[in-house]
Amino acid sequence: MFMMLLKGCGGASGHVVSLRWTASPTPSVVYNVYRSPHGKNTYVLLNPSGFLGTTFNDTSVVALVEYDYQVTSENASHVESTRSNTFSIIVP
């Protein structure tokens, strides 16, 4: 469903994982991003409500920890898609 690119960055203000995916072909969708510690399958929704756009910056990550991410789309009737494939990253 989605192709996601992940980039972990360290900086003066902390760490961030930048996610980007291809847009859904369904018009007027919003997206939800889920994160879990790697291999735990305990996903938590990171955004309180669906958002437009195909990028998300996770600034609540910790260095040297591996995370799994999944993304869903949600249509105007609030029907959420199945989750994307799992994408993993170790924060540098």
pLDDT over threshold 60, residue 2:
no
The per-residue pLDDT for 92 is 81
> Are the beta carbons of 23 and 54 closer than 8 angstroms?
yes
> Are the beta carbons of 59 and 46 closer than 8 angstroms?
no
Query: What does the pLDDT average to over 44-58?
Result: 92
Residues with Cβ within 8 Å of residue 82, at least 6 apart in sequence: 1, 72
CATH superfamily for domain 4-90: Immunoglobulins (2.60.40.10)
List the structure tokens of 6: 């992940």
Whole-structure pTM value: 0.87
**Which DSSP symbol is given to 24?**
P
The per-residue pLDDT for 70 is 95
Computed over every residue of the chain, the mean pLDDT equals 87
